[in-house]
């Protein structure tokens, strides 16, 4: 099994009300992918409630049977479209992929 976790941190220059809107947009963009692609074993998205300065703002937490399925996900039209739809949101990204 392969775990794929992605964290997003929105730009510090975004006002709080816009930040909440952008986080909901990220959830609307990425959350449906878990139901669209049959080779995803588990798929969750979440908006962080921890207000510490070191905390990230949004997470995608997913599981795949094997590395090839993760690659299929990353190259899928659905995933690439989600990335395009979220490009307008200024953010940093961190990723970890590991086998378990």
Give the residue-averaged pLDDT of 22-48: 97
In the chain the domains, ranked by start, together with CATH numbers, are 2-99 (3.30.70.100)
pTM score? 0.93
Nearest one of 46, 42, 4 to 23, comparing CA atoms? 46
- Judge whether residue 12 has pLDDT over 90: no
The predicted model gives 65-90 an average pLDDT of: 98
| DSSP helix/strand/coil, 72 | helix
84/41 Cα distance (integer angstroms): 24
Cα–Cα dist 3/41, whole Å = 10
Does residue 16 carry a pLDDT above 90? no
| Res 3: pLDDT | 98
């Amino acid at each position: 099994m392969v775990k794929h976790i992605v964290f997003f941190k929105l730009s510090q220059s975004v006002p709080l009300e816009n930040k909440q809107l952008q986080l909901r947009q990220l959830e609307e963009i990425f959350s449906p992918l878990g139901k669209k692609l049959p080779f995803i074993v588990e798929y969750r998205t979440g908006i962080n409630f921890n207000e510490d300065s070191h905390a990230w703002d949004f997470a995608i937490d997913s599981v795949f049977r094997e590395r090839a399925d993760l690659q299929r996900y990353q190259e899928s039209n659905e995933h690439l479209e989600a990335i395009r739809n979220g490009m307008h949101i200024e953010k940093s990204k961190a990723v970890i992929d590991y086998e378990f």
